[in-house]
Chains A and B, each alone.
Chain A
Amino acid sequence: MIPYAFNYRRAQSIAEAQSLLKGDAKLLAGGQTLVSAMKLRLAAPSDLIDISRLKELTFIRREGDALVIGAGTTHHEVATSATVEAAIPALKVMAEMIGDPAVRHKGTLGGSIANNDPAADYPAALVALGATVKTTAREIAAEDFFTGMFSTALDENEIVIHVSFPVPERAAYAKFRNPASRFALTGVFVSKTKSGPRVAVIGAGSNVFRVPAMEQALATNFTADAIKGITIDAGDLNSDIHASAEYRAHLVGVMAQRAVSSAS
């Protein structure tokens, strides 16, 4: 498959990337979604600004009560980082579940959240952990960052620099994959934080969402039993050939219970 013609540019700095990012230009990080979309001619950028080699975007560090990960950090790097494992083991486990080994070698945190695929895993982690997205312009709370299916609060030439994840007391991620495509039919990230428990769901709706009823139940009793009877309204959920909205609603409950049981 051959995409529409475009100009390839490799940025030497974030500042240069920003100056090149105008009109129909797009940033290229791991390219594991964008390149496929271009091959299908669903995306036709005029220019690709390659930011994958920018060292200033590739780092993992512990800063006090937060784990800070550069936008250019690959899923493989997150999945194999001792710093991530020590701070938020659930994030390591989640990164290990993304795509396949080759996709994890290329795909990045920044690329995943900027694309905001409804079935992407990272949005659940960001929302459940109360993370903050640092961009070239500002800091955005995760819940304000993900605005809808494939859309975010990012402005035209705003670039994600890093994500800061407050380290929770406990957290876990559970996902139910489509057995053929291995994409998430539903994934639930739960956390127990200083400000209370959080439950964030991906794959089931058009955008990541929290489940307040579960969070309230978990606040008094952080066990799977505490959320057993809580049902999810199927009205707003996705329905397609892979799963009905009712089935996805059921999976949210099951995955949330599994995540709470395994939280560490």
Chain B
Amino acid sequence: MSKITLTVNGKSVSADVEDRTLLVYFLRGQRALTGTHIGGDTSQCGACMVHIDGKAVKSCTMFAAQADGSSVTTIEGLARDGKLHPVQEAFREHHGLQCGFCTPGMIMTAVDMIARGAATSRDAIRHELEGNICRCTGYHNIVSAIEAAAQQAGASKAAAE
């Protein structure tokens, strides 16, 4: 067992975890943050995507103990004051989902790629989505949602400057 202390969605959390506990099981089982999904559980589908210290990683492919001392953001940590994050809003606006299972991972990946300035074109967005699998949409509307959110983020950045 290890005692871990980390920040989850802005709140400091301490917990005892079995060393072999994967981060995704800790988040879902011990923190009841079930928005982070377990899909393939093989590091391929990206349904478990979270941000560790601001970077998108697959929480099924790291142990909770590795996150000790880190700041973790899950899909539940994106909305502010009851208002959806602009990327969540864009997925709703552009209907970037059908069954919704992959959506939390898609959105966490999208937020990361927009923050890195990598969502520069539809081709670039598709390339960046390589670690996320959706079995319903054919990706078209997901790409449209991310493109719109990236343009909006660029516009608000320009306005701020």
A residues neighboring B (CB under 8 Å): 1-8, 10, 28, 31-32, 35-36, 38-39, 48, 50, 52, 76, 99-103, 105-106, 182
Contacts and interface: CB of A to CB of B under 8 A. Distances in A.
Contact of B62 (A1, A31, A99, A182): A31
Contacts, number: 79
Interface string B32-69: 00000000011100100100000111101111011010
Interface residues of B, number: 30
A100 B130 contact: yes
Given A6-B20, A102-B58, A36 B109 contact: no
B66 A28 contact: yes
A255 to B, nearest CB: 19
B18 A103 contact: no
A179 B56 CA distance: 24
Interface of B: 2, 18-20, 22, 25, 41-43, 46, 49, 55-58, 60-63, 65-66, 68, 109, 112-113, 118, 128, 130-132
A78 to B, nearest CB: 15
A99 B131 contact: yes
B66 A39 contact: no
Contact of B66 (A4, A31, A36, A76): A31
A8 B160 CA distance: 45
Contacts of B62: 31, 35, 106
Contacts of B19: 5-8, 48
A123 B113 CA distance: 28
A54 to B, nearest CB: 13
A129 to B, nearest CB: 25
A10 B2 CA distance: 11
Contact of A32 (B20, B22, B43, B130): B43
B128 A52 contact: no
A10 B62 CA distance: 14
Contacts of B65: 8, 10, 50
A76 B43 CA distance: 17
A103 B2 CA distance: 25
A101 B109 contact: yes
Contacts of A7: 19
Nearest to A52: B66
B18 A102 contact: no
B60 to A, nearest CB: 8
A5 B18 contact: yes
B130 A101 contact: yes
Contacts of A39: 22, 41-42, 60
A102 B57 contact: yes
Contacts of A36: 42-43, 61
Contact of B55 (A2, A8, A31, A105): A105
18 contacts: A3-B20, A5-B19, A5-B20, A8-B65, A31-B62, A31-B63, A32-B61, A36-B43, A36-B61, A39-B42, A52-B66, A99-B130, A99-B131, A101-B56, A101-B113, A101-B118, A101-B131, A106-B62
